[in-house]
Amino acid sequence: MNTRSEAPALFRADILRGAVVASLAKLDPRTQLRNPVMFAVYLGSILTTLLWVRSPSGGSGESSGFVLGVAAWLWATVLFANFAEAIAEGHGKAQAASLRKSRTEVTARRLTDPKTRETADVPAADLRVGDLVLVRAGDVIPADGEVVEGVASVDESAVTGESAPVVRESGGDRSSVTGGTRIISDWLVVRVATLPGESFLDRMIAMVEGARRQKTPNEIALAILLAALTLVFLLVVVTLLPFSAYSVEVSGAGRPVTLTVLVALLVCLAPTTIGALLSAIGIAGMNRLGRSNVVAMSGRAVEAAGDVDVLLLDKTGTITLGNRQATRFVPADGVSGEDLASAAHLASLADETPEGRSIAVLAKREFGLRGRDLEQIGPHFVPFSAKTRMSGVDLDGRQIRKGAADAVEAHARTLGGTFPDTVREAVRAIAQAGGTPLVVSRDARVLGVIELKDVVKGGIKERFAELRRMGIKTVMITGDNPLTAAAIAAEAGVDDYLAEATPEAKLALIREYQQGGRLVAMTGDGTNDAPALAQADVAVAMNTGTQAAKEAGNMVDLDSNPTKLIEVVHVGKQLLMTRGALTTFSIANDVAKYFAILPAAFASTYPALKTLDVMGLSTPANAILAAVIFNALVIVALVPLALRGVRYRPVGAAQLLRTNLLVYGVGGLLVPFVGIKAIDLLLSLFTG
């Protein structure tokens, strides 16, 4: 499943239809009870409906239409809240449905005798942890596991969406296979690592379905705060009834406030807007992560990503391209650059490594040297060996070699040559700068040096600068020596580095940061990364990595792109920003609604409150109904923002707070005045 290309539109027709049905199903009291704020609205809807049924003629002094209007719009408020959550869940269920299509009933060849390769066909559901299964070309891998024997091409498009096959082999960091993927060529022996129903695919389906999402600690804390505020408002509203009755009895004028008005007052003053959208914001955050092809195994991890302030990034493949590239030729005294490049090019004709190909590219770019006719020149290639630490070519009676400095020096001296001091100085300078020097010789003469560098990815320095503006410290993890690590760290623009990193050193570094109160995120793909991944607050494991790494992480990147960690942080921060912005808007909203509903609610009991009616609303009944209608409609209006998320910009916390207060705080104060007045004008047209 390609979650990015198949990401459903925000309001796709089938998702809308499902959300409408789910909104009605969520009227179950057991479902409503999970959200205390909306449960209060739910009870208010029932109460006002009963008041209308009991006295449709308005025996309480209120018109029947008013009571019915309040009841209807309270039900609409509940349904709109249900709709917001249901449409967010619908996006997750659409992803889950695509994943389920990739699951098929598979028969596995379980090895009964690993030595003779005898197998017995069994249903995949009968496999147990530790079983060995043989998978051949065309077979579907029956369960998650580790390759213990063989090398094969595997089609993982059912999970990652990428059509290009990947190689899986025993040992190393590419030994993990996922159930439901298909072998294209060759064969594998796989040791089963998970029980039926607990596979990676099963966990993906469970997590992307919003209905099964567990609330995060911050979300639970905010829900408790909103419930407490609602309880406070409930106590205030309940005490208003006897107060108004006493005032009427003492003054002998007016009439006490009615139950319908008190229910409307409670609903409008309680934080219903954020209460209705809170769950949808969390589900939508996980869906956005899914569209980046990252599966979060824990909602807590998505939230923690927004608070991360230290990123641990592997050097190779993350900060650098991962393959050393030839960047320049440094000729010896008396040797032209073209002569050195020509010899290096000849010595690299049979070198199919990325380094060898990059030498040919550099020679072509700088001196126009192109491919040679091998049949015409008749070379004898000397392959690289760990013993000689050189490779090259014998051509026309000449020996051209390239390799480690000490190896080429020894080779030149055996032929009666010397090693120039300028070349020795160039070798030292390149090594100090974090590069790898390759010395080139022709017979006894040393021609110069090729500088190989692990090239830093384009644009990565700007991304680190962006993270720095967000207050996030970047730390490069590498097995290189401190000299090389320092040079690459300076070029990439990271804040710190850990050189000659071992699993123990990574783990100790994470614990050191955490003891200082920092939240740490890291990526990894190998078994040696598993301890550090398990310790990190946000741990993104590569899908191509080992089973141990995927089990230790709380997120899995299906694209196996280590820089995806930066996107994860963006999604986490966007989730927190969206929640904070809509909470600010909701609370500011309530303040504005006081001026609409309080004067109207107590107009007959306390006429002096009429001075608070700054909007000049037509009648008390219309004012109350307008506030209730606005309270319902603003939920629908904010659903797209809750699903898309607030636009994220890498700015400091102080500036972010100012922006939120200005846009969502001031906006939350002003919008209700405009909205309620407009609704009141419409109501006055119908009520005369």
Active-site residue set = 314
Q: Which among 44, 123, 55, 42 is positioned nearest to 82, based on CA atoms?
A: 42
Q: How far apart are CA 74 and CA 78, in angstroms?
A: 6
CB neighbourhood size of 424 (10 A): 16
Q: Which H helix or E strand runs over 38? A: helix 36-54
Identity of the residue numbered 589: N
φ and ψ of 196, to 5 deg: -55, 135
Helices (H), 196-336: 200-208, 217-251, 259-269, 272-291, 299-307
Q: How far apart are CA 682 and CA 630, in angstroms?
A: 12
113 belongs to an annotated ligand binding site: no
Helices (H), 292-353: 299-307, 337-347
Helices (H), 553-619: 564-601
351 belongs to an annotated ligand binding site: yes
402 belongs to an annotated ligand binding site: yes
385 belongs to an annotated ligand binding site: yes
Q: How far apart are CA 370 and CA 368, in angstroms?
A: 6
461 belongs to an annotated ligand binding site: no
480 belongs to an annotated ligand binding site: no
387 belongs to an annotated ligand binding site: yes
Give the position of tokens 């972010």: 656
Identity of the residue numbered 153: S
Which residues is 497 bridged to in the sheet?
A: 476
Q: How far apart are CA 448 and CA 288, in angstroms?
A: 53
What is the distance in angstroms between the CA of the first residue and the CA of the last residue of the chain?
58
- Residue 638, classed as helix, strand or coil, is helix
b/e string for 354-393 if b means 16 or more Cβ within 10 A?
ebbebbbebbeeebebeeeeeeeeebeebebeeebebbbb
386 belongs to an annotated ligand binding site: yes
315 belongs to an annotated ligand binding site: no
List for the chain the helix, strand, coil content (%; round to 5): 55, 20, 30
93 belongs to an annotated ligand binding site: no
Longest C-alpha distance within the chain, in Å?
123
Give the position of tokens 């296979």: 177
Q: How far is CA 334 from the centre of its chain?
A: 56
Alpha-carbon separation of residue 130 from 111, 115, 189, 192, 659 (angstroms) = 11, 16, 12, 5, 55
Q: At what angle do helices 667-687 and 620-644 cross, to 10 degrees?
A: 130
Per-residue DSSP letter, 215: P
145-149 vs 390-395, strand pairing mode: unpaired
10 Å CB burial of residue 659 (0-12, 13-18, 19+) is middle
Residues 434, 437, 441: CA angle, nearest 5 degrees = 175
* CB-based contact 328:344 (threshold 8 Å): no
339 belongs to an annotated ligand binding site: no
Q: Which residues are annotated as a binding site for Mg(2+)?
A: 525, 529
Tell me the binding residues for ATP: 351, 355, 384-391, 402
